[in-house]
Amino acid sequence: MFNLSQLTNQVCTIAKEAGSFIREERLNFDSSKIEQKGLHDLVSYVDKSSEKLIVQQLQQVLPEAGFITEEKTVQQQKGAIYEWVIDPLDGTTNFIHDIPAYCVSIALTRQRMPIIGVVYEVNRDECYYAYEQGGAFLNDEAIHVTETSTLANSLLATGFPFYKFEYQDEYINLLKYLMQQCRGIRRIGSAALDLAYAASGRFDCFFEYNLNDYDMAAGLLLVKEAGGELFDFECGKEMLDKRSVIAGNKVITNLVKEAVQQYFIK
């Protein structure tokens, strides 16, 4: 059995190296090299090159693990006991538009449960990391979710769908309610960062649906190890499979969960 603490340190180093590459490429980014994977779904050579860099190094660190990656630069091996779940550049649209809110997200899962999570925020040089039963950290300082006890004193975060709009009305009903109850709702454009910020106390709770594994696997562990609560939109604990999450401090997360139950009816 490998040492989770040592492996996490290795993953942090890899994430920072990818982040350094992304930071350098942003200085002279060529917008003509942007590709469109689907409706409003953008990708660039930076995403793909970052992923290749990460995959190549992780293959050496833990050869027996499979891969689930956003850009699919390596054969996807979903179903392995251990899987690396990678978003090489979460917040691609922000990156393309030079909005400084994007990150590298790397998780290791064991039978679909995250056991290592690393989120590296490129522009602020912030490395969030956690491993199973080891706590959560930001640049080597322990982090914890907030102790906010009322929606009136809370700051929430969410994401808006950029395709698959069939639940748009239900989602707007949920937002109508929550925006009247809290201090504000932020939409940064990177689910991995939203979860990292919830883990470190910048947000009291983050909620979003229609996410992918690589958007949230690392962040889920950060919130859990920072003392937080997590649910999917069906109020269970299958966030990766249900493709949705409500995560943050226990009180506010449960209050948001109740609002989801009431207003987000599919």
pLDDT tens digits for range 163-179 = 667 788 999 999 999 99
Same domain, 75 and 123: yes
Give the model confidence (pLDDT) of 117-157 as tens digits: 999 999 999 999 999 999 999 999 999 999 999 999 999 99
State residue 43's pLDDT score. Answer: 66
Q: For strand 126-131 and strand 113-121, is the pairing parallel, antiparallel, or unpaired?
A: antiparallel
Q: How many domains does the chain have?
A: 2
Mean pLDDT along residues 190-196: 98
Domain stops at, among 142, 167, 187: 142
Same domain, 125 and 174: no
Give the model confidence (pLDDT) of 194-209 as tens digits: 999 999 999 999 999 9
| AA letter at 196 | A
Mean pLDDT along residues 92-107: 95
Same domain, 179 and 108: no
Same domain, 196 and 79: no
Residue 191 · residue 216 · CB < 8 Å: yes
Residue with tokens 């990177």: 190
Same domain, 132 and 180: no
State residue 39's pLDDT score. Answer: 45
CATH of the domain at 162: 3.40.190.80
For 201-223, b where at least 16 C-beta lie within 10 A, e where not — what string? bbbbbbbbbbbebbbbbbbbbbb
CATH of the domain at 111: 3.30.540.10
Same domain, 237 and 170: yes
- Which residue segment(s) compose the domain that 116 sits in? 4-142
Residue 230 · residue 253 · CB < 8 Å: yes
Same domain, 105 and 189: no
Same domain, 183 and 245: yes
Same domain, 28 and 67: yes
Tokens of 27: 């200085």
Domain stops at, among 84, 117, 142: 142
Q: How confident is the model at residue 228 (pLDDT cuts 50, 70, 90)?
A: very high
Kind plus residue range of the DSSP H or E element containing 98: none
Mean pLDDT along residues 222-235: 97
Domain stops at, among 142, 171, 198: 142
Dist. CA 240–CA 231, nearest whole Å:
10
The separation between CA 255 and the C-alpha centre of its own chain, rounded to angstroms, equals 21
Global pTM value: 0.94
Give the model confidence (pLDDT) of 40-74 as tens digits: 445 688 889 999 999 999 999 999 999 999 888 88
Same domain, 137 and 8: yes
- Name the burial class of residue 152, with classes exposed (0-12), middle (13-18) and buried (19+) by CB atoms within 10 angstroms of its CB: exposed
Same domain, 237 and 158: yes
Cα separations (Å) of 153 from 132, 201, 203, 204? 30, 13, 11, 9
Same domain, 201 and 127: no
Q: How confident is the model at residue 162 (pLDDT cuts 50, 70, 90)?
A: low
Residue 136 · residue 197 · CB < 8 Å: no
Tokens of 144: 């914890």
Tokens of 246: 């409500």
Tokens of 206: 């983050």
